[in-house]
Structure 1
Protein backbone atom coordinates (compact mmCIF):
# COMPACT_ATOMS: atom_id res chain seq x y z
CA UNK A 1 0.00 0.00 0.00
CA UNK A 2 1.40 3.38 -1.01
CA UNK A 3 0.59 6.65 0.70
CA UNK A 4 0.80 10.00 -1.06
CA UNK A 5 0.99 13.34 0.66
CA UNK A 6 -1.03 16.00 -1.09
CA UNK A 7 0.11 19.55 -0.70
CA UNK A 8 -2.41 22.37 -0.79
CA UNK A 9 -1.67 25.21 -3.15
CA UNK A 10 -3.60 28.12 -4.54
CA UNK A 11 -3.28 28.04 -8.30
CA UNK A 12 -2.16 31.23 -10.03
CA UNK A 13 -4.62 33.72 -11.43
CA UNK A 14 -6.22 32.50 -14.62
CA UNK A 15 -8.60 33.49 -17.40
CA UNK A 16 -11.67 31.83 -18.92
CA UNK A 17 -9.64 31.27 -22.11
CA UNK A 18 -7.13 29.21 -20.12
CA UNK A 19 -9.95 27.13 -18.64
CA UNK A 20 -11.38 26.43 -22.11
CA UNK A 21 -7.95 25.65 -23.55
CA UNK A 22 -7.20 23.13 -20.81
CA UNK A 23 -10.60 21.48 -21.23
CA UNK A 24 -10.19 21.37 -25.02
CA UNK A 25 -6.85 19.59 -24.75
CA UNK A 26 -8.23 17.20 -22.10
CA UNK A 27 -5.90 18.38 -19.35
CA UNK A 28 -8.28 18.05 -16.41
CA UNK A 29 -5.83 19.00 -13.60
CA UNK A 30 -4.86 22.19 -15.47
CA UNK A 31 -8.53 22.97 -16.14
CA UNK A 32 -9.43 22.55 -12.47
CA UNK A 33 -6.52 24.76 -11.39
CA UNK A 34 -7.49 27.38 -13.98
CA UNK A 35 -11.10 27.33 -12.77
CA UNK A 36 -10.01 28.09 -9.23
CA UNK A 37 -7.56 30.67 -10.55
CA UNK A 38 -10.38 32.55 -12.24
CA UNK A 39 -12.43 32.76 -9.05
CA UNK A 40 -9.94 33.51 -6.30
CA UNK A 41 -8.22 36.73 -7.21
CA UNK A 42 -10.78 39.31 -8.29
CA UNK A 43 -8.88 40.38 -11.38
CA UNK A 44 -11.51 39.55 -13.99
CA UNK A 45 -14.99 40.58 -15.01
CA UNK A 46 -17.34 38.99 -12.48
CA UNK A 47 -20.14 38.66 -15.04
CA UNK A 48 -17.90 36.81 -17.51
CA UNK A 49 -16.64 34.54 -14.74
CA UNK A 50 -20.15 33.92 -13.48
CA UNK A 51 -21.22 32.84 -16.98
CA UNK A 52 -18.18 30.58 -17.29
CA UNK A 53 -18.93 28.77 -14.03
CA UNK A 54 -22.67 28.56 -14.72
CA UNK A 55 -21.85 26.80 -18.02
CA UNK A 56 -19.32 24.54 -16.30
CA UNK A 57 -21.89 23.64 -13.66
CA UNK A 58 -23.50 21.56 -16.42
CA UNK A 59 -20.24 20.01 -17.65
CA UNK A 60 -20.22 16.25 -18.22
CA UNK A 61 -17.20 15.69 -15.97
CA UNK A 62 -18.33 15.52 -12.34
CA UNK A 63 -15.17 17.13 -10.99
CA UNK A 64 -15.62 20.12 -13.27
CA UNK A 65 -19.29 20.60 -12.41
CA UNK A 66 -18.70 20.23 -8.67
CA UNK A 67 -15.80 22.69 -8.74
CA UNK A 68 -17.90 25.15 -10.77
CA UNK A 69 -20.34 25.29 -7.85
CA UNK A 70 -17.48 25.99 -5.45
CA UNK A 71 -16.17 28.71 -7.75
CA UNK A 72 -19.57 30.43 -7.79
CA UNK A 73 -19.33 30.65 -4.01
CA UNK A 74 -15.81 32.08 -4.36
CA UNK A 75 -17.10 34.72 -6.77
CA UNK A 76 -19.68 35.82 -4.19
CA UNK A 77 -16.90 36.20 -1.62
CA UNK A 78 -14.37 37.92 -3.88
CA UNK A 79 -16.65 40.26 -5.84
CA UNK A 80 -19.55 40.67 -3.41
CA UNK A 81 -22.03 40.48 -6.26
CA UNK A 82 -23.64 37.98 -8.62
CA UNK A 83 -26.79 37.69 -10.66
CA UNK A 84 -28.21 36.08 -7.58
CA UNK A 85 -31.50 34.94 -9.08
CA UNK A 86 -29.81 32.95 -11.86
CA UNK A 87 -26.95 31.60 -9.76
CA UNK A 88 -29.15 30.49 -6.86
CA UNK A 89 -31.58 28.78 -9.26
CA UNK A 90 -28.71 26.92 -10.95
CA UNK A 91 -27.17 25.89 -7.62
CA UNK A 92 -30.52 24.68 -6.30
CA UNK A 93 -30.82 22.53 -9.41
CA UNK A 94 -27.25 21.28 -8.95
CA UNK A 95 -28.03 20.46 -5.33
CA UNK A 96 -30.38 17.71 -6.56
CA UNK A 97 -27.52 15.82 -8.26
CA UNK A 98 -25.42 13.46 -6.15
CA UNK A 99 -22.03 14.63 -7.45
CA UNK A 100 -22.74 18.34 -6.91
CA UNK A 101 -25.10 18.34 -3.94
CA UNK A 102 -22.48 19.12 -1.28
CA UNK A 103 -20.56 21.76 -3.21
CA UNK A 104 -23.77 23.41 -4.41
CA UNK A 105 -25.04 23.58 -0.82
CA UNK A 106 -21.75 25.12 0.33
CA UNK A 107 -21.88 27.67 -2.49
CA UNK A 108 -25.44 28.63 -1.53
CA UNK A 109 -24.25 29.19 2.04
CA UNK A 110 -21.33 31.29 0.77
CA UNK A 111 -23.72 33.42 -1.27
CA UNK A 112 -25.91 33.93 1.77
CA UNK A 113 -22.96 34.86 3.97
CA UNK A 114 -21.13 37.14 1.54
CA UNK A 115 -24.02 38.80 -0.26
CA UNK A 116 -26.32 39.10 2.77
CA UNK A 117 -24.08 39.19 5.85
CA UNK A 118 -26.64 40.74 8.21
CA UNK A 119 -29.29 38.20 7.28
CA UNK A 120 -26.78 35.37 7.72
CA UNK A 121 -25.76 36.64 11.17
CA UNK A 122 -29.38 36.82 12.31
CA UNK A 123 -30.12 33.39 10.91
CA UNK A 124 -27.12 32.02 12.82
CA UNK A 125 -28.26 33.66 16.05
CA UNK A 126 -31.79 32.35 15.60
CA UNK A 127 -30.48 28.86 14.86
CA UNK A 128 -28.36 28.94 18.02
CA UNK A 129 -31.31 30.16 20.09
CA UNK A 130 -33.60 27.34 19.00
CA UNK A 131 -30.98 24.63 19.58
CA UNK A 132 -30.70 24.46 23.38
CA UNK A 133 -27.87 21.90 23.28
CA UNK A 134 -25.60 24.64 21.89
CA UNK A 135 -26.03 26.79 25.01
CA UNK A 136 -23.60 24.66 26.96
Structure 2
Protein backbone atom coordinates (compact mmCIF):
# COMPACT_ATOMS: atom_id res chain seq x y z
CA UNK A 1 0.00 0.00 0.00
CA UNK A 2 1.46 3.37 -0.98
CA UNK A 3 1.39 6.47 1.22
CA UNK A 4 -1.72 7.94 -0.43
CA UNK A 5 -3.68 4.70 -0.06
CA UNK A 6 -2.54 4.41 3.56
CA UNK A 7 -3.67 7.97 4.29
CA UNK A 8 -7.04 7.39 2.61
CA UNK A 9 -7.76 4.23 4.60
CA UNK A 10 -10.29 4.95 7.32
CA UNK A 11 -9.40 3.72 10.77
CA UNK A 12 -11.51 4.62 13.78
CA UNK A 13 -9.03 6.16 16.22
CA UNK A 14 -9.07 4.83 19.74
CA UNK A 15 -9.04 7.39 22.54
CA UNK A 16 -5.62 8.00 24.08
CA UNK A 17 -4.71 9.76 27.30
CA UNK A 18 -2.54 12.86 27.32
CA UNK A 19 0.31 10.76 28.70
CA UNK A 20 -0.02 8.16 25.92
CA UNK A 21 -0.16 10.89 23.30
CA UNK A 22 2.86 12.71 24.70
CA UNK A 23 4.82 9.45 24.69
CA UNK A 24 3.90 8.91 21.04
CA UNK A 25 4.86 12.51 20.22
CA UNK A 26 8.26 12.00 21.85
CA UNK A 27 9.16 8.47 20.76
CA UNK A 28 6.58 7.20 18.31
CA UNK A 29 6.74 6.28 14.66
CA UNK A 30 5.07 8.47 12.06
CA UNK A 31 2.00 6.22 12.16
CA UNK A 32 1.81 6.37 15.96
CA UNK A 33 2.17 10.15 15.96
CA UNK A 34 -0.53 10.52 13.30
CA UNK A 35 -2.90 8.24 15.18
CA UNK A 36 -2.27 10.18 18.39
CA UNK A 37 -2.81 13.56 16.71
CA UNK A 38 -6.15 12.47 15.31
CA UNK A 39 -7.16 10.79 18.55
CA UNK A 40 -6.43 13.82 20.74
CA UNK A 41 -8.28 16.07 18.29
CA UNK A 42 -11.33 13.83 18.62
CA UNK A 43 -11.17 12.85 22.28
CA UNK A 44 -9.28 15.39 24.43
CA UNK A 45 -11.47 18.24 25.67
CA UNK A 46 -8.66 20.77 26.26
CA UNK A 47 -8.61 22.53 22.87
CA UNK A 48 -5.56 24.66 23.67
CA UNK A 49 -3.51 21.60 24.67
CA UNK A 50 -4.62 19.78 21.52
CA UNK A 51 -3.81 22.75 19.29
CA UNK A 52 -0.36 23.23 20.81
CA UNK A 53 0.56 19.74 19.63
CA UNK A 54 -1.13 20.15 16.27
CA UNK A 55 0.74 23.41 15.63
CA UNK A 56 4.07 21.72 16.37
CA UNK A 57 3.31 19.14 13.67
CA UNK A 58 1.91 21.68 11.19
CA UNK A 59 5.46 23.10 11.29
CA UNK A 60 7.27 19.73 11.23
CA UNK A 61 9.73 18.86 8.46
CA UNK A 62 7.94 15.56 7.66
CA UNK A 63 5.19 16.05 5.08
CA UNK A 64 3.14 13.11 6.34
CA UNK A 65 3.09 14.59 9.85
CA UNK A 66 2.13 18.03 8.50
CA UNK A 67 -0.73 16.42 6.57
CA UNK A 68 -1.91 14.52 9.67
CA UNK A 69 -1.76 17.73 11.68
CA UNK A 70 -3.92 19.52 9.10
CA UNK A 71 -6.51 16.73 9.19
CA UNK A 72 -6.39 16.80 13.00
CA UNK A 73 -6.99 20.55 13.09
CA UNK A 74 -10.07 20.10 10.92
CA UNK A 75 -11.36 17.45 13.34
CA UNK A 76 -10.60 19.68 16.32
CA UNK A 77 -12.53 22.55 14.72
CA UNK A 78 -15.52 20.26 14.27
CA UNK A 79 -15.36 18.94 17.83
CA UNK A 80 -14.51 22.18 19.65
CA UNK A 81 -16.21 24.74 17.42
CA UNK A 82 -13.18 27.04 17.55
CA UNK A 83 -9.57 27.36 16.40
CA UNK A 84 -6.97 29.62 17.95
CA UNK A 85 -5.05 32.22 15.95
CA UNK A 86 -1.68 30.43 16.18
CA UNK A 87 -3.12 27.23 14.75
CA UNK A 88 -4.92 29.13 12.02
CA UNK A 89 -1.71 30.96 11.10
CA UNK A 90 0.31 27.72 10.98
CA UNK A 91 -2.34 26.14 8.75
CA UNK A 92 -2.39 29.16 6.42
CA UNK A 93 1.37 28.76 5.99
CA UNK A 94 0.70 25.34 4.42
CA UNK A 95 -1.62 26.80 1.78
CA UNK A 96 1.37 27.99 -0.28
CA UNK A 97 3.05 24.56 -0.25
CA UNK A 98 1.86 22.60 -3.31
CA UNK A 99 2.38 19.29 -1.47
CA UNK A 100 0.24 20.43 1.47
CA UNK A 101 -2.27 22.81 -0.06
CA UNK A 102 -4.99 20.17 -0.59
CA UNK A 103 -4.89 19.03 3.02
CA UNK A 104 -4.63 22.61 4.26
CA UNK A 105 -7.58 23.68 2.11
CA UNK A 106 -9.68 20.78 3.41
CA UNK A 107 -8.86 21.78 7.00
CA UNK A 108 -9.70 25.42 6.22
CA UNK A 109 -13.06 24.28 4.82
CA UNK A 110 -13.73 22.37 8.05
CA UNK A 111 -12.78 25.40 10.12
CA UNK A 112 -15.08 27.68 8.12
CA UNK A 113 -17.93 25.17 8.39
CA UNK A 114 -17.66 24.25 12.06
CA UNK A 115 -16.30 27.24 13.97
CA UNK A 116 -18.39 29.97 15.47
CA UNK A 117 -17.53 33.59 15.99
CA UNK A 118 -16.62 34.48 19.55
| TM-score category (smaller protein) | 0.7 to 0.9
The answer to whether residue 96 in structure 2 is matched with residue 96 in structure 1 is: yes
Secondary structure at the counterpart of residue 97 of structure 1: coil
> For residues 13 and 100 of structure 1, do their structure 2 counterparts lie closer, same or farther at Cα, with a shift above 3 Å needed?
same
- The structure number with the bigger radius of gyration is 1
- Number of paired residues? 111
Give the match for residue 67 of structure 2. Answer: 66
Deviations 1:7-30 (A, max 9, x none): 632111124543442243342211
Higher relative contact order (CA 8 A, sep 6+): 2
Gaps of 5+ in 1: 118-136
Structure 1's consecutive aligned runs of 4 or more residues displaced over 4 angstroms after TM superposition are: none
CA distance in structure 2 between the aligned counterparts of 1:9 and 1:90, rounded to whole angstroms: 26
**CA-based RMSD:** 2.3
